[in-house]
């Protein structure tokens, strides 16, 4: 096969940032994706309906001319989140999900939740109205090894929350372990997971072997190869609980290439090529549409996108090593393999 036409895809986990960075990265996603679930971890975070409206309007203003891209907004859950404001934001169609960051787990998560009992009334209301909770699934306990933080989170935090709040619809974001794959497979219809592009193609050796590679560092950090293989098997399985959320997370090179550099891989530019290459190598191109264009929308109870996207196979694809954002540059994810599929204009 050298040509594939599918329904237009959705990116169910994306960081667009704000200001110059927003204007630089939005076209990279809007070129191929109809919709994206936009993460609220700005500084300060997007906590209220009013803030989500203002952020949505800034995104719409930054949209390339002629693009019909639609941002799906989220609220950042804090211990002070107002239930009524959240419900109104959902019922008006403004927001699609609420994001839970354990306090201190990742980039810009200082306002996240430390005491989970404080957010129980909010979670109960979300279960009642069917508003999904997107979860950054890592414990922040400094005594837990960073490679174990996702698996420990399932046992210590996520499973207790789901038992405590029956009917809560949860998306475990950017899963990185076979433990998470198994947990989601067993979780019933109220549980799903996003998988990123980069976690499908790199393992921790890419970050650490032969010299440290800051552009492969993200959170949750990539794990050993057996875990990557579990993610690939989930992504190509045709199981509707697993769908794409790229977690494309731009940081200026100046912020990544430091003694203490930021976490995040910027994959928006070449995500479609990477995914097509991977699915083809797994003999699973017929499963790509479900993973990127069908299951995510179905979980969020959104209508499927109307348009189509065509991928064609040919000579190795080229893409810029970095994109300019104001005076800064954002390095594009290097999949460490030749890519042959490009999106037809």
What is the closest distance, in whole angstroms, from the C-beta atom of residue 219 to Zn ion in the complex? Answer: 8
Cβ nearer to ligand NCD, comparing 87 with 223: 223
Residue 271 to residue 335: CA distance in whole angstroms: 9
Structure tokens at 144: 């837990």
Is residue 289 close enough to count as binding Zn ion by CB under 5 A? no
Cβ nearer to ligand NCD, comparing 218 with 252: 218
Is residue 138 close enough to count as binding Zn ion by CB under 5 A? no
**Residues with Cβ within 8 Å of residue 137, at least 6 apart in sequence:** 150, 153, 154, 157, 158, 172, 173, 175, 180, 220
Contact between 343 and 32 under an 8 Å Cβ cutoff? The reply is yes
What is the closest distance, in whole angstroms, from the C-beta atom of residue 265 to ligand NCD in the complex? Answer: 7
Catalytic residue among 68, 247, 315, 345: 247
Bridge partners of 98, per DSSP, are 75, 133
Whether 247 sits among the annotated catalytic residues: the reply is yes
Is residue 247 close enough to count as binding Zn ion by CB under 5 A? yes
Residues in the chain: 345
Cβ nearer to Zn ion, comparing 239 with 247: 247
**Residue 263 binding partner per list ligand NCD, Zn ion, none, with a CB distance cut-off of 5 to 8 Å that depends on partner kind:** ligand NCD
What is the closest distance, in whole angstroms, from the C-beta atom of residue 3 to ligand NCD in the complex? Answer: 33
Contact window for Zn ion (CB under 5 A) among 157-165, 199-207, 242-250, 308-316: 242-250
Contact between 246 and 268 under an 8 Å Cβ cutoff? The reply is yes
DSSP for residue 102: B
Footprint of ligand NCD (CB under 6 A): 15, 41, 106-108, 136, 218-219, 247, 249, 263-264
Alpha helices, H only, the chain: 19-30, 49-62, 83-91, 120-129, 149-153, 159-164, 178-185, 197-201, 204-208, 225-235, 253-256, 271-281, 288-289, 295-299
Site size with Zn ion, rule: CB under 5 A? 1
What is the closest distance, in whole angstroms, from the C-beta atom of residue 54 to ligand NCD in the complex? Answer: 19
Provide φ and ψ at 205, rounded to 5°. Answer: -60, -35
What is the closest distance, in whole angstroms, from the C-beta atom of residue 106 to ligand NCD in the complex? Answer: 3
End-to-end CA distance of the chain: 19
Cβ nearer to ligand NCD, comparing 89 with 252: 252
- Residues belonging to the active site: 247
Residues in contact with Zn ion by CB under 5 A are: 247
């Amino acid at each position: 096969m050298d040509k594939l036409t599918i329904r237009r895809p959705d990116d169910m986990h994306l960081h667009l940032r704000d200001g110059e960075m927003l204007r630089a990265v939005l076209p990279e996603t809007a070129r191929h994706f109809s919709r994206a679930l936009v993460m609220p971890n700005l500084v300060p975070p997007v906590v209220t309906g009013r803030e989500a409206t203002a952020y949505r309007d800034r995104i719409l203003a930054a949209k390339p001319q002629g693009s019909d891209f639609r941002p799906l907004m989220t609220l950042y859950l804090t211990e002070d989140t107002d239930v009524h404001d959240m419900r109104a934001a959902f019922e008006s169609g403004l927001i699609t999900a609420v994001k839970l960051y354990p306090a201190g787990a990742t980039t810009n998560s200082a306002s996240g939740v430390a005491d989970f009992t404080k957010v129980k009334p909010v979670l109960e209301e979300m279960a009642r109205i069917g508003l999904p909770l997107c979860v950054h699934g890592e414990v922040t306990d400094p005594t837990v090894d960073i490679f174990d933080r996702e698996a420990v989170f399932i046992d210590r935090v996520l499973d207790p929350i789901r038992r405590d709040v029956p009917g809560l619809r949860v998306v475990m974001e950017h899963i990185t372990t076979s433990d998470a794959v198994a947990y989601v497979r067993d979780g019933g219809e109220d549980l799903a997971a996003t998988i990123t592009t980069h976690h499908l193609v790199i393992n921790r050796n890419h970050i650490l072997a032969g010299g440290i590679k800051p552009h492969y560092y993200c959170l949750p950090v990539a794990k050993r190869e057996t875990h990557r293989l579990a993610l690939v098997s989930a992504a190509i399985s045709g199981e509707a609980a697993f769908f794409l959320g790229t977690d494309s997370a731009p940081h200026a090179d100046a912020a990544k290439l430091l003694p203490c550099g930021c976490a995040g891989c910027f994959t928006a530019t070449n995500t479609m090529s990477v995914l097509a290459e991977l699915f083809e190598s797994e003999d699973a191109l017929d499963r790509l549409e479900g993973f990127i264009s069908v299951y995510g929308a179905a979980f969020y109870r959104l209508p499927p996108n109307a348009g189509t996207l065509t991928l064609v196979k040919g000579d190795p694809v080229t893409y810029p090593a970095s994109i300019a954002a104001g005076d800064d540059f954002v390095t594009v994810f290097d999949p460490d393999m030749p890519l042959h599929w490009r999106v037809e204009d």
